[in-house]
Structure 1
Amino acid sequence: MRLPFRRRAVPPDRSGGGGPPDSDRSTPSASQAPDRSDDHAGHALRAPSRLHAFNRYEIKYLMSSTAVPVLRKELARRLDADSHGIGGGYGVWSVYYDTRDLRFYWEKIEGLRFRRKLRVRHYGDRSTVDDDSTVFVEIKQRVNRVTQKRRVALPYHLARDLCDRREMVAHEPGQRAFLEEVLDLLCRLDLRPVAMTGYQREAFVGRGAEAGLRVTVDQRVRGRDRDFDLGADAENRLIIPARLAVVELKANERIPYWLTDLAAELNMSVVRISKYCQSVEAFDRAPRSVFHVSDDDPSGTPVPAAARSEA
């Protein structure tokens, strides 16, 4: 039986001034397509750069894992496969930082119009992570219906110096303002690692008129609430039932009709799910909210006939 989520009063300075920090004003508009100069069909947003910033709209769905082959086949007809994930996809591992009272978690649960989170993310096999592996320090925030991301690529040892030891690190020109913002959040809010998530991702990217479109399919969503070293040989457990996949549709301006029609045809359920919040609740750091996906949740269970014949 689920516990109702609790509501919390919002302190006057919850958003550090009521809106995005000044550095956000330089982020590109939602109509600008992300830079794909390194690989037009790849994960350009993962390319190391001085500072990468972008805006987009996102819709999340849950679907039965048994229907993924049908979705994959339909997406391959209209979109290009992410060249970094050909042959089974790639791992995505993230360490999330929050306050002692889980301020960022509650901002998401309460649906604040301006909210954000800080994380360190690695793409690939976590067993290969060492001090020199490239990771990304990222601030992801929501402003009304638009998702904004700003991130820098750093060697893992520098990311830990910044986020765990709260020290300014060597950086390239153009990165300092963002790193100072990260340090301000860490020190002012006393942030610390709270949860870790990992999953296997397949990604598809738009071409031509749909160049800003991106679809990701995440399976085997796992997590842990301790041993936050990205390369640690630590035990993870499923935080979303293995029978379900999380599908995200991401676009600079709007999701094309053919894609939303496909989601309806495959019985995909729109959800307000957060992998970070799911991990927090799975390890009993907070009561399970109305958004929590549990083993007995029927969401995503229906499997269309096409998926049954494909399996």
Structure 2
Amino acid sequence: MATTDSPRAPHAFNRYELKYLVPAAGVEEIRREVAARMRPDGNGGPGGYGVWSLYYDTTGLRFYWEKIEGLRFRRKLRVRRYGELGPAPDDAPVSVEIKQRVNRVTQKRRVLLPYRLARELCDGRRRIAHPEADQPFVDEVLELVQRLDLRPTAITGYRREPFVGVDSDLGLRVTFDHRVRGRDRDLDLRAEAENRAIISPHLVVMEVKANERVPYWITDLAARHGLQVRRISKYCQSVEAFGRAPRSVFHVPETDDLTGPRAVERQPG
């Protein structure tokens, strides 16, 4: 997937976020209502695009527990790749991101780096330099990795359909995330490894992001379709789905029948 982001400076976002679980059978109608007021993100293309994230955490899962306990200030570190998984050159672009929550506001800072340098920084724990990267932010990532002894913990992936606001809804973003999968091994964003459903494939995660306030028509749409705001974390889902922590009250079933077999995908996409 092409991106217009430049690695020269970290992109910063301060946003309010709402998340909903939508039955896959009802997505088409909701998408139609959203598309009547918004436009597809130009980076999406037909059918959206893949989003794959490698999350870092401590051996005691500090970032996981901060989310579960609902701390007013919490954060996490991830490396994100867009598009399809599989072999890629060392200079394939990825985003190194620090995402944090301050009270009700989500803040995200990121910088684009070649995958090789991102691995040297986050896995090798070495100071790296890139002529187009914001060095203070890169050094902040390194300090976080070294001080907390962070290490690769889980990968999540999904197919994202993005919509962006127009006119009075500029800054609004609505995404539909399909086939949410993950794995707890082969933690390389270029590996053609087995992934498993960490949320039932019959459910779609709808995320709403707004700079100041979520418009009334969004909350009205959610109410008419019987949707409720959910505390969903794809990272926490992956940790719990693979038995790294007990299932919390926020856990979403990986399958409709909790006693049945979990869906497994061997294809990387």
Letter aligned with residue 117 of structure 2: L
In 2, distance between residues paired with 1:205 and 1:88? 15
| C-alpha deviation, 1:270, in angstroms | 1.3
Pairing partner for 1:205 from 140, 164, 170:
164
Give the direction of change, closer, same or farther, for the CA distance of 1:128–1:89 in structure 2 (3 Å limit). Answer: farther
Partner of 1:234: 193
1:114 aligns with 2:73: yes
SS in 1 for 2:160: strand
Give the direction of change, closer, same or farther, for the CA distance of 1:89–1:47 in structure 2 (3 Å limit). Answer: farther
Partner of 1:125: 84
Pairing partner for 2:184 from 225, 233, 246:
225
The answer as to whether partners of 2:7 and 2:132 remain within 8 angstroms in 1 is no
Letter aligned with residue 215 of structure 1: V
In 1, distance between residues paired with 2:124 and 2:7? 23
Partner of 1:75: 34
* Seq. identity, %: 64
In 1, distance between residues paired with 2:252 and 2:138? 34
Partner of 1:99: 58
| C-alpha deviation, 1:49, in angstroms | 4.1
Pairing partner for 2:119 from 160, 174, 190:
160
SS in 1 for 2:236: helix
SS in 2 for 1:160: helix
In 2, distance between residues paired with 1:170 and 1:180? 9
1:85-142 Cα offsets, whole Å, 9 max, x none, are 1210000000000000000000000000000000000111112533111100000000
Pairing partner for 2:19 from 54, 57, 60:
60
1:136 aligns with 2:95: yes
Out of 46-55 and 62-71, give the one that drifted further: 46-55
Give the direction of change, closer, same or farther, for the CA distance of 1:191–1:236 in structure 2 (3 Å limit). Answer: same
In 1, distance between residues paired with 2:34 and 2:124? 43
The answer as to whether partners of 2:162 and 2:175 remain within 8 angstroms in 1 is yes
In 2, distance between residues paired with 1:206 and 1:134? 27
Letter aligned with residue 272 of structure 1: R
- Please identify which structure carries the higher strand content: 2
Report the TM-score when normalising by structure 2: 0.91
Q: List alignment gaps of at least 5 residues for structure 2.
A: 259-269
The answer as to whether partners of 1:163 and 1:186 remain within 8 angstroms in 2 is yes
Q: How does 1:287-302 map to 2 (within 5 A)?
A: 287-294=246-253, 295-296=255-256
| C-alpha deviation, 1:54, in angstroms | 1.6
Aligned residues, how many?
Answer: 256
Partner of 1:193: 152
1:280 aligns with 2:235: no
| C-alpha deviation, 1:172, in angstroms | 3.5
SS in 1 for 2:81: strand
